[in-house]
Amino acid sequence: MDFNEGEIIYIDKPLHWTSFDVVKRIRLRILRRLKQKKLKVGHAGTLDPLATGVMIVCTGRATKRIEEFQYHTKEYIATLRLGATTPSFDLETEVDATYPHEHITREIIERTLPRFVGSIMQIPPSYSACKIDGRRAYDMARKGQEVELKPKELVINEIELLDCELPEIRIRVVCSKGTYIRALARDIGVALGSGAHLVGLVRTRVGDVTLADCLSVDEVARLIDEAPIETTEPEDKKEKEENKSI
C-alpha cells in the first residue's frame, strides 16, 4: 500500500465515534507505520456520532478525490420514534416535547412518506456542523444560544417504509449530499401531525460502496500494520522540491 500516493479505505464507522475520531485514528496509525510526521487524511462525508455505517477515508494524494465522493448518492436505514422531539432531533439530547401519535397508522405513514421524494427544501438541525458567521451551529446550540439556519435544497431519490412497530418506524432513504436524516425525521413527524426524532441511523451505501465493502476500525488498523508498504514521497515534500526547481 502507498499511503502517500493515496489509498481509499472503506470503513464501517463505530457507534459513538465522531468522523474526526476515525480520521485521527487512521492518520496516527499510518504515521507510526511510515515513521513520518505528516500525512493528509480526510473523509468524504460526516456521520454523526450516533450513526454507524459507510465512511470513505482518503489518504495522501487521494484526498483530492474527496469532493468527488461527497457528491455520490447515499443510502440510509433510519429508525424514528414518533410522538416526541428532542432539540438535536436524535438521542444526543433529552426529549423536550411529546405529542399525540395514536392517530397514526401504517397506511397514513405510507401515504405521507412519498411527499418527501424529489427536490425539497430542508432546514438543517441546530445541532449540526453548519457555520454561522464562522461558528459551528452545534457549538452555539450546546451553549443555549439561538441558532437560525436557512433552508437548503436537496434531493430525496427514494424513501421506503421497512418496518412499522408504532411508535417506532424504520425507513430506507436514498438521498443527495447535504441531507440531514435527523431533520427529515423532524419533518416526517410534523407531516404526520405529531413529533419524531431519530433513534438509530446506519449509512448503508455511498455511491457503489456498501457496508459489505467496509472494514471495521480494528481491521483497518491490522491492514495498516501488516500490508506491504511502498514509499512514495509525501505530497508536501514533493511540492517543496517542485517549488525549488521553478
* Residue 235, pLDDT score: 62
State the chain's mean pLDDT as an integer.
91
Q: List, in sequence order, every beta strand (DSSP E) within 112-184.
A: 118-122, 131-132, 135-136, 152-165, 168-175
- Tell me: pLDDT of 62 over 60: yes
> CA-CA distance, 171 to 189, in Å (whole number)?
13
Report yes or no: 220 and 9 within 8 Å, Cβ to Cβ: yes
* Residue 242, pLDDT score: 46
pTM to 2 decimal places: 0.89
Per-residue pLDDT of 138-154, as tens digits, reads 777 777 777 777 889 99
Q: Which is catalytic among the residues 12, 48, 90, 187?
A: 48
What's 234's DSSP letter? P
The predicted model gives 146-167 an average pLDDT of 92
Residue 179 — φ and ψ, nearest 5°? -80, 130
pLDDT band at residue 241, thresholds of 50, 70 and 90?
Answer: very low
Per-residue pLDDT of 187-214, as tens digits, reads 999 999 999 999 999 999 999 999 999 9
Per-residue pLDDT of 75-123, as tens digits, reads 999 999 999 999 999 999 999 999 999 999 999 999 999 999 999 999 8
pLDDT band at residue 246, thresholds of 50, 70 and 90?
Answer: very low
> CA-CA distance, 186 to 80, in Å (whole number)?
9
Q: Prior bond to 114 cis, omega within 30?
A: no
* Residue 69, pLDDT score: 95
Distances (CA, A) of 84 to 21, 33, 68, 136, 195: 30, 48, 37, 26, 5
Q: Give the type of residue at 17.
A: W
The number of CA neighbours under 13 Å toward the Cβ of 137 is: 16
Does the annotation count 48 as an active-site position?
yes
Q: Give the type of residue at 183.
A: A
